[in-house]
Every structure is written in structure tokens, then in C-alpha cells.
A and B are shown apart, each in its own frame.
Chain A
Amino acid sequence: GENVEQHPSTLSVQEGDSAVIKCTYSDSASNYFPWYKQELGKGPQLIIDIRSNVGEKKDQRIAVTLNKTAKHFSLHITETQPEDSAVYFCAASIGGGGADGLTFGKGTHLIIQP
């Protein structure tokens, strides 16, 4: 089955700086890669996603890049703010058709230092 590795497990950045979280996946058939933000006591919230036919996608301060050859994708957050502090999960699945389950990475605890 699919295996998703995520690094780092904890990331501390100064407010206003950028944060980058990286993930790799093992199954070349995976073609859908979402990123979720989870705050304490809440369910994961989808913040951005990308399909394998796209190399990069941006939504305001958040961007995701995908290198399908290397099986690697990354989340970039610019101009970080205190409310960005949370646990971020990357995930992968064979999307587009069946209700396949997502395989999540182990998560990154992002801490924004004021």
C-alpha cells in the first residue's frame, strides 16, 4: 500500500517568515495530494490540494509544489501569522473515481513564534 513520509515533525519559525513542509510518497499510482490543517480538538481542515497533472498551485499565502518524478510534494506558507500555528498533514490517494481512503503523513507541528 501507499506510504507517505513527512518532515519535519516539528517546525518553529518567526512570525512573518516562511515555512516549508515536505512529503514523499511511495505509490506511483497516487495522483491526488491534499494538505490538511488540524487545530487542537478539531477535525482536519483542507487548506489546499493538487492533482498529479499540475506542478504547482497557489492560494494567497499558501502554495503546494509537486514533483511526480521524485514522488515529492511540499507545502509553502509565506508571511506566517500566529493563527497558522497547528498540526499540518500531507496525504495521498488514487483520486478521481472511487472513494479511496487518504494515506496521511505523520504530521508537522508548526509553531509560529511572535
Chain B
Amino acid sequence: AAGVIQSPRHLIKEKRETATLKCYPIPRHDTVYWYQQGPGQDPQFLISFYEKMQSDKGSIPDRFSAQQFSDYHSELNMSSLELGDSALYFCASSPRDRVGEKLFFGSGTQLSVL
């Protein structure tokens, strides 16, 4: 079965650089969520999109922005990167009939800021 696809798998950046993370949801899933997970921590909700509109917002820094495109894929844009942004970033999607439930997570993007 198709899963949530995230790219890149690993990303290394310098402080103050920018990064773009991509997420391709499961086919026929039109809801996308972004989470940040530090080492040994629980996933922290950043932002979500439903039908290409921002739906809910969590602890996403102002330096980060995200959007969902017409084909339902989503991108997380991160600017002015800081050392503390180093983390695993997960994207998840949920089915049309279970919006807000049944989240399926991708394998994540490991971001390292040096």
C-alpha cells in the first residue's frame, strides 16, 4: 500500500540558511499535518492543511511557513535556521472521511543545522 512520502530523507544546513521539506500524502488523503520531533522527545504539532487551506496551527515558529498545493502535496519552508531547529520532521496525512483522525506518518526528514 502507498505510504506518505517525504523528501529529502536527510538534510544538512548551516545556521541562517533556508530549507524546504516536501511531503506527498497517501492518494485520496487531502489532509496534511507537519510535526517536529527532537531527540528523545514526543512529536510536536506544527501546522495542518485541509483541502489546501490552513486548518490548525500549533507551535510553528514565524520563521517557518507551509502550504498545500493543488495536487495535495505540501512543503514546509524554514528560514533563518537555528541550531535548535535540528530535529526529525514528520508529515502525516489522513483520509477524507476521517479528517483529524487516522493519521499516517511518513518516515521523516532528519534536519541537522550546523
Contact = CB atoms under 8 A, between A and B. Distances in A.
Interface string B100-114: 111111111000000
B66 to A, nearest CB: 13
A36 B90 CA distance: 14
Contacts of A34: 101-103
Contacts of B90: 43-44
Contacts of B46: 101
Instruction: Give the secondary structure class of B's interface.
Output: strand
A101 B99 contact: no
A93 B105 CA distance: 16
Contacts of B24: none
A95 B90 CA distance: 20
Given A34-B103, A49-B102, A99-B49, 13 more contacts: A32-B101, A42-B108, A43-B4, A43-B105, A43-B108, A46-B104, A94-B100, A96-B99, A99-B33, A99-B99, A100-B100, A104-B43, A104-B44
> 10 closest Cβ contacts across the A-B interface?
A101-B45, A43-B105, A99-B55, A104-B42, A99-B48, A99-B50, A95-B100, A95-B101, A99-B31, A101-B58
25 contacts: A34-B102, A43-B105, A89-B42, A93-B100, A93-B101, A95-B100, A95-B101, A96-B99, A96-B100, A96-B101, A97-B99, A98-B50, A98-B99, A99-B31, A99-B48, A99-B50, A99-B55, A100-B55, A100-B56, A101-B35, A101-B45, A101-B46, A101-B58, A104-B42, A107-B42
